[in-house]
Amino acid sequence: MIKSINKICIVIFVMSGVITGVTTAHAETKVSLKQPPHSLEQWYKPANKRQVWLHTMFKLRREMQAVRENAENGDKAATLKWIKRLDKHYNKIADMVPEWEKEIKPRLIEELEMFAEKGDTYRLKKTLKMIKRTCDDCHTVYQPLVTATYRSPYYDDIKLKGQDGTIHSFEDNMEQLSRSVNRTLIALDDGHIDIAIQSTKKLGEQLRTLGDSCSGCHKDDAYPQERILGNATQQRLQKLQTKISAGKVKDSQDLMGEIAVTVCARCHNTHKIVSDLRNVLLPVE
């Protein structure tokens, strides 16, 4: 399921050129991304029932905020309560991924507790900043690849059953869709009405085939599918047939444009962009 990679190091250069008058200043930031340890996989779907790692992170962020705000408000009991939770979850980082033990500084949480007990808010906040730095250091190096690896869906495993019963891949379906869209546009341009009608029918079938795949990931939620392939799309496809049959080329072209935006682009914006990013970051071995 998850492609395994040995060791990769991706270097991203962020160039920003600032032009002031006749001089040009270049600032160059270099970030090296490291491959996360394999032990992380067990804390993510599908190896785990829940996204345990990610939810631990959300807790840490809430706890950091709670400690700071309660300390600022002088509520010592609440501050100490949240420090206990922070302590637990911060240490969970190394429990869950032993390879990352060196990335955290549990000693800082002890200091945090000491400053809270003393009511030394100034030092407490300084310590929080030091803890925050350990969060940021790990995020800079690991977060992008972890998000790409464990939180983006993988389409290669999806098999689609065509209306004629043939099985094909997600990628085949995309190529067919693209061909039907373009064949329709070409036929409209050339005044080949029959071909245009045929290929929009094909497009409708291919979209129904694709629609069967949605529930594989969107299990208890019909809304994502409705939004992209639901009623509005069905109506556009029907209207398209009517317009083409009536020889209304301009209207048909406009409708094709609407379908490309509301069906193809809208889905690509959530699914394809992340998928492309994942494929770039995680090349097949």
- What residues line the site for ligand HEC (CB under 6 A)? 54, 57-58, 60-61, 64, 90, 93, 100, 103-104, 131, 134-135, 138-139, 142-143, 146-147, 150-151, 153, 155, 158, 170-171, 174-175, 177-178, 181, 210-211, 213-214, 216-218, 223-225, 227-229, 263-264, 267-268, 270-272, 275, 279
* CA dist., res. 241 & res. 277, Å (int): 36
CB of 100 to ligand HEC, least distance (A): 4
Q: Which two tokens stand for residue 95?
A: 């429990």
What single DSSP character describes residue 258? Answer: H
CB of 153 to ligand HEC, least distance (A): 3
* CA dist., res. 259 & res. 239, Å (int): 11
Residue 147 or residue 241: which is nearer to ligand HEC going by CB? 147
CB of 269 to ligand HEC, least distance (A): 9
Residue 106 or residue 114: which is nearer to ligand HEC going by CB? 106
Q: Which two tokens stand for residue 180?
A: 């039907």
Q: Regarding beta strands 167-169 and 23-34, do their DSSP bridges make them parallel or antiparallel, or are they unpaired?
A: unpaired
Q: Where are the beta strands (DSSP E) in the chain?
A: 9-20, 23-34, 159-161, 167-169
In contact, 108 and 90? CB cutoff 8 Å: no
Residue 89 or residue 243: which is nearer to ligand HEC going by CB? 89
Residue 199 or residue 243: which is nearer to ligand HEC going by CB? 199
In contact, 44 and 153? CB cutoff 8 Å: no
CB of 11 to ligand HEC, least distance (A): 19
